[in-house]
Chain A
């Protein structure tokens, strides 16, 4: 099989910009909800914008939850972006309590208005790297800027899984996660100019190994 990255399509946001980013880096990508296509990919991207509960509902309806588990068991690279990052966690309190994919232990919680200036956070913010050896952040200088749009953030139970931290208002939270073959960013690399592109490049390179 020729190399390709599967971008999971579960009707949560525009996936074209991610697709184009991968293509620009000379890798093949498909936007798909086909279980076989996802399982046979060299790497999988779980994107997403919108509400946590809706996203889990769509994943369930499309029977994608067992597939994501399979990918992790098979140690295939999995990259969660924005809401896709949050879905990896055990649970979220976004509009009620929702169970997540539980691929990373921890919870997704909201920014508190008393601690930040505005909700959602929309804009550029910097990332302090705790683990610059993780493959996803190769060649990324410490304190580089990325583009964020979110009202909730994740709080991993195991602090070793935090690759990068971002400070918004008085809240310091996990903005890059790495756990074995799972990586995830709260920010949108496809909207983060050159260092965002570098993140995709690193992910593709890892998938090629």
Chain B
């Protein structure tokens, strides 16, 4: 059977402008999320994710106008994440034309929100982002009731983090993933904040752990540096999609190259 895997570039947007890697893409206005998104659509991106990192509530309104513009100009599905806190935020974003919303801290604070969105819009439009940090322990007794994975001569479990990965919740990410599935999430975006930006590859143990525990489509995120890493997200991590930001923005590798490489290695993709 054919199950096409997805490559998803992530664009960080602040006050309605793209803030990373804009010097490296040859566009008329590289700070314009619409131009940037179109560029990736033409390159073969399967989906886009816009992560709103606008700090102030006031300026958050810019994101709705941005989504409208993106929806008008871009003909591939896109998700919007970052700072979504209420059903009102979700409605504004989805009604403006986004295909999906991605919730993170808000899901931890108010898990019922996932169910509300799922009921109103369908679970395929709700993604739950989970920031997870590896916590190493020497024995099972050190971490009772946690889902443990063997790593070399030790064990590790995954601690759910909030506030951009800065606050530990002590919650088990694998159990949390199963819970958000029950609540109504249709997809999960696990990010290892420790791996993020390292370019050493995704946290494949967490990616696979969540994929296998939930059976939901999982988007591997955080740490991709090479096309080999992207391939491993699928072959080892059992992900349905692989997300990357800087390696695409800085033109270290193109989406096309990644896709060709994955296809050559037996992972089906749209080219």
Known pairs A167-B2, A193-B41; A14 contacts B77 (CB<8 A): no
Q: Are A16 and B71 in contact (CB under 8 A)?
A: yes
Specify which chain B residues have a CB less than 8 angstroms from the CB of A60 in the assembled complex.
Answer: none
Bound CA–CA A118/B46 (angstroms): 18
Which A115-170 residues have a C-beta within 8 angstroms of B?
116-118, 120, 122-126, 145, 147, 149, 167-170
Q: Are A193 and B76 in contact (CB under 8 A)?
A: yes
Q: Are A16 and B77 in contact (CB under 8 A)?
A: no
Among B97, B186, B187, B270, point to the contact of A17 (Cβ < 8 A): B97
Bound CA–CA A124/B186 (angstroms): 17
Name the residue of chain B whose CB is nearest to the CB of A23. B72
Bound CA–CA A194/B240 (angstroms): 23
For residue B3, CB closer than 8 A to chain A, the reply is: yes
Q: How many A-B residue pairs have CB under 8 A?
A: 62
Bound CA–CA A20/B217 (angstroms): 29
Q: Are A149 and B72 in contact (CB under 8 A)?
A: no
Measured CB to CB, the residues of A under 8 A from B are 14, 16-17, 20-21, 49-50, 116-118, 120, 122-126, 145, 147, 149, 167-170, 190-194, 196-197
For residue B6, CB closer than 8 A to chain A, the reply is: yes
Measured CB to CB, the residues of B under 8 A from A are 1-4, 6, 41, 46, 71-73, 75-77, 94-95, 97, 99, 122, 124, 186-187, 215, 217, 240, 270
Known pairs A118-B215, A197-B75; A145 contacts B4 (CB<8 A): yes
Name the residue of chain A whose CB is nearest to the CB of B100. A122
Specify which chain B residues have a CB less than 8 angstroms from the CB of A167 in the assembled complex.
Answer: 1-2
Please give the distance in Å from A156's CB to the nearest CB on chain B: 23
Known pairs A124-B4, A167-B2; A190 contacts B124 (CB<8 A): no
Q: Are A170 and B1 in contact (CB under 8 A)?
A: yes
Bound CA–CA A16/B74 (angstroms): 12
Name the residue of chain B whose CB is nearest to the CB of A19. B72
Name the residue of chain B whose CB is nearest to the CB of A120. B124
Q: Are B3 and A191 in contact (CB under 8 A)?
A: no
Name the residue of chain B whose CB is nearest to the CB of A170. B1
Known pairs A147-B77, A193-B76; A16 contacts B97 (CB<8 A): yes
Q: Are B72 and A20 in contact (CB under 8 A)?
A: yes
Specify which chain A residues have a CB less than 8 angstroms from the CB of B1 in the assembled complex.
Answer: 116-117, 167-170
Specify which chain B residues have a CB less than 8 angstroms from the CB of A122 in the assembled complex.
Answer: 124, 186-187, 217
Sample (25) of A-B pairs whose CB atoms are under 8 Å apart = A14-B94, A14-B95, A17-B72, A17-B97, A20-B72, A20-B73, A21-B75, A49-B122, A50-B122, A116-B1, A120-B124, A123-B3, A123-B4, A123-B240, A124-B46, A125-B4, A145-B4, A147-B77, A167-B1, A168-B1, A169-B1, A191-B76, A191-B77, A194-B75, A197-B75
Q: Are B46 and A17 in contact (CB under 8 A)?
A: no
Q: Are A125 and B2 in contact (CB under 8 A)?
A: yes
Q: Which of B95, B240, B270 has the most CB of A within 10 A?
A: B270
Known pairs A17-B97, A117-B1, A123-B46; A196 contacts B6 (CB<8 A): no
Please give the distance in Å from A126's CB to the nearest CB on chain B: 8
Bound CA–CA A152/B98 (angstroms): 23
Nearest first, the 9 A-B pairs at minimum CB distance are A145-B270, A124-B270, A20-B72, A124-B4, A169-B1, A193-B75, A191-B77, A122-B124, A193-B76
- In the complex, besides A117-B3, A123-B3, 13 extra interface pairs with C-beta distance below 8 angstroms are A14-B94, A14-B95, A16-B72, A20-B71, A20-B72, A117-B1, A145-B270, A169-B1, A191-B76, A191-B77, A191-B99, A193-B76, A197-B75
Bound CA–CA A193/B75 (angstroms): 5
Bound CA–CA A194/B6 (angstroms): 17
